[in-house]
Amino acid sequence: MEKLLINNTGYEVKEAHIIRTTKMTEQDKLFEVALQYGEILDFEPGQFVEVSLLGVGEAPISICSSPTRRDSFELCVRAVGRMTNALHRLKAGTEIGIRGPFGVGFPVTQMVGHDILMVAGGIGIAPLRSLINYVMENRRDFGRVHILLGCRDPRLMLFGNEIQTWQKRLDIGFNCTVDRADPDWKGNVGLVTALIPGVDIDPENTFAVIVGPPVMYRFVIKELLAKGIAENRIVLSLERHMKCGLGKCGHCQLHDIYCCQDGPVFFYDRIKNMKGAI
């Protein structure tokens, strides 16, 4: 066997380093990351990267910051497996590897001039935050903007400080609910679906963007359709285990679609008849 040294195979990582880590909940940590040599990560809201730790492996993580912030980006990581637990142990200054960005992001250019209803459940707020911040920073490009947020209980709420500022903004509508309240919780209790009928939007002119656990999609989509939003205006992000990110390894395959390359963001009308999609 002869060993050839090659370049640009798609598997080499960009060197990056952690600028800051912020503990968000018992399980979730926010990593601010910058590429070496001042390189800018050129991405769209809704895209993901493969985070690499040599000797441990890779994990696909959604970018949760807006591309309008150019000198660094943020990743919200829940410690669930070997790789993400290893990431949680890293401190600011540590070098990590980044591959990507991969996939198709939210259709931000198509959404220009339209109203936007964004619905997030649980950790779905992480990828959606990229779009939320993007929309806030380009606020005059869009019509009315609503954000609906649901999570299991207040202790699991991510981006709590930012949520407070969103609540105060006059240029967006914001509502938040938890499945189970604790004594300090003063907001809504119940599922996020219950918030949809009350949102004042013009369905003809609205894009709805949903990110959450698979089980949430069916119920939220039902409400959105009942509200009169067209199937080709409902946008969702499908979580799958993207291993290679290059449309080959098969882990994220959904019928003839590779979520890592053809998604993770899809219009509902494209995937609605694919069994197992949501």
Which residues would be at the binding site for another protein (CB under 8 A)? 1-13, 15-16, 52-59, 78, 80-81, 84, 95-97, 213-214, 239-241, 243-244, 246-251, 253-256, 261, 275-276
Q: For another protein, which is the closer residue by CB, 121 or 229?
A: 121
Task: State how far the Cα of 60 lies from the Cα of 80, in Å rounded to an integer.
Answer: 13
- The two tokens of residue 242 are 């993207």
Q: For another protein, which is the closer residue by CB, 59 or 224?
A: 59
Q: For another protein, which is the closer residue by CB, 46 or 146?
A: 46
Shortest gap between Cβ of 4 and another protein (angstroms)? 5
Shortest gap between Cβ of 136 and another protein (angstroms)? 28
Shortest gap between Cβ of 47 and another protein (angstroms)? 15
Shortest gap between Cβ of 262 and another protein (angstroms)? 10
Task: State how far the Cα of 82 lies from the Cα of 57, in Å rounded to an integer.
Answer: 9
Shortest gap between Cβ of 32 and another protein (angstroms)? 17
- The two tokens of residue 62 are 């959604």
- Opening angle at CA 194, ends 190 and 195, nearest 5: 105
Q: For another protein, which is the closer residue by CB, 188 or 245?
A: 245
Q: For another protein, which is the closer residue by CB, 54 or 226?
A: 54
Q: For another protein, which is the closer residue by CB, 67 or 121?
A: 121
Shortest gap between Cβ of 216 and another protein (angstroms)? 12
**17, 19, 22, 27: CA torsion to nearest 10:** 0
Burial class of residue 86 in the structure, from the number of CB atoms within 10 Å of its CB (0-12 exposed, 13-18 middle, 19+ buried)? middle
Phi, psi of 164 (to 5 degrees): -60, -40
User: How many CA atoms lie less than 13 Å away from 210 in the CB half-sphere?
Assistant: 31
**Is the Cβ–Cβ distance between 176 and 149 less than 8 Å?**
yes
Phi, psi of 215 (to 5 degrees): -65, -30
